[in-house]
Chain A
Amino acid sequence: MSDLSGLYQELILDHSRRRVGDGELADPHASHHELNPTCGDEITLAIRLDESGSTIERIGWTGDGCSISMASASALTELATGAEVEQVRRLVDAFRTMMRSKGAGEADEELLGDAVAFHGVSKYVMRVKCAMLAWVALEACVASATARDA
């Protein structure tokens, strides 16, 4: 299955089984539901900020979808939990840029950590939305939580 190894890297298959962050979050500061109507994949992702409102303290999500979308939510949770809001915005931007690259260039491993494993997914145009699902939900959560604070 060497053809598929670029898409289904071990790290992605591992995250799709571990599902870090899987479970509803109590008392979230923001929650967002995201649906991919073409395949039916969906996620409800919620965040809690710390007391200062500048750091994401916890992330929780419930979802149903392919291994790419669920692994992406898991990797995102690991990466963004404990990160400052500004850093999370940079993460989302960097992840989106990587997913639009169609496999070209080098992903920013220093910033994205394990999430660079999804670089290979960007070559599969029909799967990019799967990988983006949780990140779009996180972006919406951050926007809504910080707007409320302002």
Chain B
Amino acid sequence: MTLDPTATLGGRLPATLRDQFPYLAQELNGHPLAYLDSAATAQRPTAVLDAERAYLERSNAAVHRGASTLVGTSTGAFEEARATVAAFVGAGDREIVWTENATDAINLVALGMADASAGLGGSEADVFALRPGDEIVVTEAEHHANLIPWQRLAAKTGATLRWIPVGDDGTWGIDDAASVIGDRTRVVAFAHVSNVTGFAAPVADVAEIAHRHGALVVLDACQSVPHRPIDFGALGVDFAAFSAHKMLGPTGIGVLYGREQLLDALPPARTGGSTITTVTMERAEFLPSPHRFEAGTQPVSQAVALGEAVRFLDGLGMGGVHAHEAELAELLVDEVARIPGIRLVGPPPGAPRAALASVDVPGVHAHDVGQFLDAQGIAVRVGHHCAQPLHRRLGLRATTRASAYVYTTADEIRRYGAALAEVRGFFGAGA
């Protein structure tokens, strides 16, 4: 490990990077803040905050409504943000739909499939229609956001929900996937990177198997798009969801990616103003993607800010971001692994993982671990991280998760390791 203990990124990213995140300069409980909860929500650089304000001060107007000069400006900014995000993930402009958040994006697919199953959307939506006997496949490691919408879709259509089992470390392999995906499978939905284990799924291989059986592939990309170079076309997925606030952007906006011809055929689960071509008292015809899905007033300033966040990440270079985080991941695992009695969830030391680590401290509840760290200025996430079935499978109720991002320093990870080593002693749970 050759990381500079104070500077960011072992020289991979600018040493001044941290100065661009005002949030990180504050203290927590009398200590310099070590923010190790970016997998939950990332902090925003000044450039992103300024971009949203600048839009509101100079360019704000209703988008895609009316014909004024002002609307031309606001609509231009809104659509330019879409193009920026599209290019960032290897997509076309019409393949990027704004949603409320990533959860909403997954629901938009599942609800659209329920509509198709009920006969809405005509023959071109047949590809989305499920019947009793059809199977929806997820994994045992999913975030609730990529599980419950599929449970509901199964309940509405009579399809069967199946899942790829995970091993004792919470990870799974291509053989596990191949044993569950079959000719009855119509949808395979899974996380690119697990928000609990940091395990990265073999996306392209799973997509290949799914497509061989005629199934659609839906990817929860919340923990991958912010952290590594992504090309959804190259990965071969049909739909993907990700969230702005985990990638230096604002809350209130997420993204649904979908292959153009699929999005144009997916019934819009939410309908209303600006999604239509012709409306009579009896019925409505819908625009092609993306506008068929964007009913009502959109999160416009948030879209503009997300576009700026993407430019910021592009400026750093996603290859460098990924390499930086791979080093931090290694350090994080080293720090945890050297503490006797701590259980690390996910890939074993030495195996690839995202820059996050969830641990169980035997004899001490995760909330108490988190509180102990909090008192030392170290912010982590405690709980089941919206993955109860995975925790149950691991024999745990809650874990403590530390997660890093572009602005995380090696020093912060070391502070976390040193504090974590003191937890069992403080609570009298053995040395």
Contact = CB atoms under 8 A, between A and B. Distances in A.
A131 to B, nearest CB: 12
A13 B428 contact: yes
Contact of B371 (A4, A13, A64, A65): A4
B56 interface: no
Contacts of A8: 368, 371, 426-427
Nearest to A2: B375
Contacts of B72: none
Contacts of A130: 367
Contacts of B388: 40
A7 B397 CA distance: 23
Given A1-B426, A17-B428, A38 B375 contact: no
B311 interface: no
B398 interface: yes
Contact of B383 (A4, A38, A67): A38
Given A3-B29, A3-B375, A17-B428, A39 B368 contact: no
Contacts, number: 52
Nearest to B364: A67
A64 B30 contact: no
User: Contact residue range for chain A?
Assistant: 20 to 34
Contact of A1 (B375, B391, B428): B375
B310 to A, nearest CB: 32
A66 interface: yes
A111 B382 CA distance: 34
B382 A39 contact: yes
B21 interface: no
Nearest to B392: A40
Given A67-B368, A68-B367, A124-B371, A13 B384 contact: no
A127 interface: yes
A4 B372 contact: yes
B228 interface: no
A55 to B, nearest CB: 33
B428 A4 contact: no
B384 A40 contact: yes
Nearest to B372: A4
Interface in B415-431: 426-428
> Quick one: which of A17, A39, A41, A124 has the most chain B CB within 10 A?
A39
B367 A66 contact: yes
Contacts of B29: 3
A38 to B, nearest CB: 7
A70 to B, nearest CB: 8
B365 interface: yes
B377 to A, nearest CB: 10
Given A39-B398, A65-B365, 13 more contacts: A3-B29, A3-B30, A4-B371, A8-B368, A8-B427, A13-B428, A17-B428, A38-B383, A39-B367, A40-B398, A64-B397, A66-B366, A124-B371
**Shortest 10 CB-CB contacts between residues of A and residues of B:** A66-B365, A66-B367, A3-B375, A4-B375, A40-B397, A67-B368, A66-B368, A39-B383, A40-B384, A40-B398
